[in-house]
C-alpha cells in the first residue's frame, strides 16, 4: 500500500547480484518537498535502492510507485521518459559532458525533451545564476573547479523542473566547504520548487540537510532513531 501523501514509494524490494542480496525486503517513501537522507555502510544497498527507485535498475521483486504510476510495471521506454521529464540526477562526480560548455550541459536535458534552444538556454542561465556559477556558463567542465562543476550538475538536474531529485553522494568528491555550499543550494532550491530529494550519503554533515534520515542495513530500511540524528 502506498503511504498516504507520498510521491514516490517502494514496498518489499528485493534485488540480488548473483548470490549477494543487495535489497532484502526494503520499504521506502518520500513526500513532495521532503528531503530524505539514505545512509548506511558501504555495500549496504543504499545505491541499489536509489537505482530501483529511479527505475534505472529493476528489482527482482517488490513494487515502486511514483504518483499514479507503478514504476516497476512500466516499459523501459516509459521509465526512460520519466527520467528525462520528472526525475533529476546529481552524481558524485557530476558526469558533465566535457565537450560542452556549462551552459550547454545545463540546457542539454531540456533540448533532449524537445525544448527550443533559446528557451532551454534561458532556463539554463537562470539556474546557473541561482546556483552561483553564472560566470562559468561559457567554460567547459575541465576549466572550472570541482565545487563549481558540482553546482553546474545541480543546475542541470533542476532545470527540467523535476518532481524528484536523486542525489548519489553529491559531495563525495568535494572538500567540506564546497560540500556544504552545494548541499545548501540543492536543498533550498528543491524545497522552493517542492521537489522531493532522495539523498544517498555516508556523511552525517550532509545528512543534516535532510528532513528525515533512514538507514539501509542488510538490504532493509530503518528510520534513524531521533537520538542519533
Q: Is the pTM of this model over 0.85?
A: yes
Is 4 a residue whose pLDDT tops 80? no
- For residues 93-109, give the mean pLDDT: 92
Q: How many angstroms separate the CA atoms of 23 and 48, rounded?
A: 7
pLDDT tens, 24-46?
Answer: 999 999 999 999 999 998 888 99
For 160-179, how does the pLDDT look when each residue is reduced to its tens digit (9 = 90+)?
Answer: 999 999 999 998 888 888 89
Domain 1-86+196-229, CATH 3.40.50.300 — does that match? yes
From CA 153, how far away is CA 170, in angstroms rounded? 9
pLDDT of 184 strictly over 80:
yes
**CA proximity to 96, closest of 138, 52, 154:** 154
Average pLDDT, the chain: 91
pLDDT tops 70 at residue 138: yes
* Domain spans in the chain, listed from the N-terminal domain onward: 1-86+196-229
Closest CA to 210 of 183, 189, 192: 183
> What pLDDT score does 229 carry?
46
pLDDT on residue 225? 56
pLDDT higher than 60, residue 52: yes
Amino acid at each position: 500500500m502506498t503511504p498516504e501523501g507520498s510521491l514516490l514509494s517502494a514496498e518489499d524490494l528485493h534485488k540480488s547480484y548473483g548470490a549477494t542480496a543487495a535489497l532484502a525486503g526494503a520499504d521506502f517513501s518520500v513526500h513532495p518537498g521532503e528531503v530524505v537522507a539514505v545512509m548506511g555502510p558501504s555495500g549496504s544497498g543504499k545505491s541499489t535502492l536509489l537505482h530501483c527507485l529511479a527505475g534505472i535498475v529493476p528489482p527482482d521483486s517488490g513494487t515502486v510507485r511514483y504518483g499514479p504510476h507503478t514504476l516497476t510495471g512500466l516499459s523501459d521506454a516509459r521509465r526512460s521518459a520519466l527520467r528525462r521529464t520528472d526525475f533529476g540526477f546529481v552524481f558524485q562526480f557530476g558526469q558533465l559532458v566535457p565537450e560542452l560548455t556549462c551552459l550547454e550541459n545545463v540546457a542539454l536535458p531540456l533540448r533532449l525533451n524537445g525544448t527550443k534552444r533559446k528557451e532551454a538556454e534561458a532556463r539554463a542561465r537562470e539556474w546557473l545564476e541561482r546556483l552561483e556559477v553564472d560566470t562559468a556558463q561559457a567554460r567547459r567542465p575541465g576549466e572550472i573547479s570541482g565545487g563549481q562543476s558540482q553546482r553546474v550538475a545541480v543546475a542541470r538536474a533542476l532545470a527540467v523542473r523535476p518532481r524528484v531529485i536523486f542525489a548519489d553522494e553529491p559531495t563525495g568528491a568535494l572538500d567540506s566547504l564546497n560540500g556544504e555550499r552545494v548541499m545548501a543550494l540543492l536543498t533550498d532550491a528543491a524545497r522552493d520548487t517542492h521537489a522531493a530529494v532522495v539523498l544517498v550519503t555516508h556523511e552525517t554533515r550532509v545528512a543534516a540537510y535532510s528532513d528525515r534520515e533512514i538507514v539501509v542495513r542488510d538490504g532493509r530500511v530503518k528510520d534513524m532513531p531521533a537520538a542519533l540524528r
